Structure 1
Amino acid sequence: MRIWGSVLCALLAVTVAGCAPKVRTDVNRFPSTSLPTNLEGKTFVFMPTDKQQGSLEYESHAAAIATFLEKQGLHRTNDEKTADDAVAFSYGQSGGRTETHSSPLYGQTGGGTSYTSGTGYAYGSGGTAYGSYSGTTYTQPTYGVVGTSTETRTVYTRFLDAEIYDMRRSVVENKLIRVWEGKSMSSGTSSSFAPVSKCMIRAVFENLRKAGSEQVDAQVDQC
């Protein structure tokens, strides 16, 4: 039993030491055919809603998004009248849901060292005789499932939705012309969007032109 427990502890130590919290993001991107092939030199401005105006959290997420857009040639500006494009995004989390998970517990199921002792009696014409005995036996230990562990946790769904609009065409045509759209979602025990925001933003904006759906895994300390 001690050997088995030592093995489990060693494996657990390696696992914990080598793994940071991971965020799995489900991403959907929809780039329009009118999205310019070359974004170099084009400018963009953020379009916050009335509720987002003045929010420090919103500005923090906007700065993170701007970092990825600038890597692809765009330049952020605060001048709405001269910006080539406009970026709008929303984010948040849903109410939690309870999940219950069961996992097997492993341990020694048999074998090992056993100890026996007792007193023996003998009866005869001369009376009764008795004596004590003791001994140990050893058989190869066996291991397997010895029980079940049940864990209950609350899981939250976090989301990020974003759009890019061609502002110059929008002015000419007198309506918003959307040239890119991205949606993402992740689930986890964090009840706030902020702790996983960098990973989710990276998942959506790092490959701006990549259309379709995919799952993106990232460790929090690498986002």
Structure 2
Amino acid sequence: MESGGGVSGRPMVVAIDGPSGSGKSTISRRVAAELGLAYLDTGAMYRAATWWCRRREVDLTDPAAVAVAVRAMPLQMVTDPDAPRVVCDGVDITDEIRGADITAAVSVVATNLDVRAELARRQRAEIAAETHPGEGRSEGRGIIAEGRDITTVVAPDATVRLLLIADERARLARRARELHGADDDATLEATRDLVVRRDADDSTVSAFMTAADGVVTVDSSLLTLEETVAAVLDVVRAAV
């Protein structure tokens, strides 16, 4: 772990986007821990919004009602990369929001443009809180934020902007092993909806399959976890 301010002595913001199953959450946590930075999973915020709307019995097919509910959502993101947590209305929902029910419904909330605007505002606030000396989980060293829109809409001025990609077969296999402990033909097919369909839904409101200008691409298709972490660290250190 570096001291002072990431690897540069100054607050650092690293923004990482990529398709489902590219490994961006795991890689972002590992790199954040290595550099002494905070970690923000913006995708978890959309899952939390889905959980909150269901808790409040809001009709997810009513975009205006969903947006109103999300604006009032009492959400706390614990940005410790070694133990990230999501707390909503005083309830730790970190594990619950990874369940099948939330996974199946989250795209409806995540494609609501008013919800996206509200959560982008909150994400910017989380990022800003980690860049003031002595403040935030990182004590001002900075943050790695990962998820949709992070490199283009939420943090276009980040110190480092990175798109983490992998081919479809690699992404399906990773998510299948994560969810089912295997990557045979049956589990790959069972996982396809969670990866391919969600990416198709999200791509209607967010661009994350190709890098925007100034965004560095890292392809993890043929890399191990450790190799991908090293590749991302190389990008970050080269940038600063």
TM-score by length of 1: 0.20
Name the one with the larger helix percent.
Answer: 2
Name the one with the larger strand percent.
Answer: 1
Q: Which has the larger radius of gyration?
A: 1
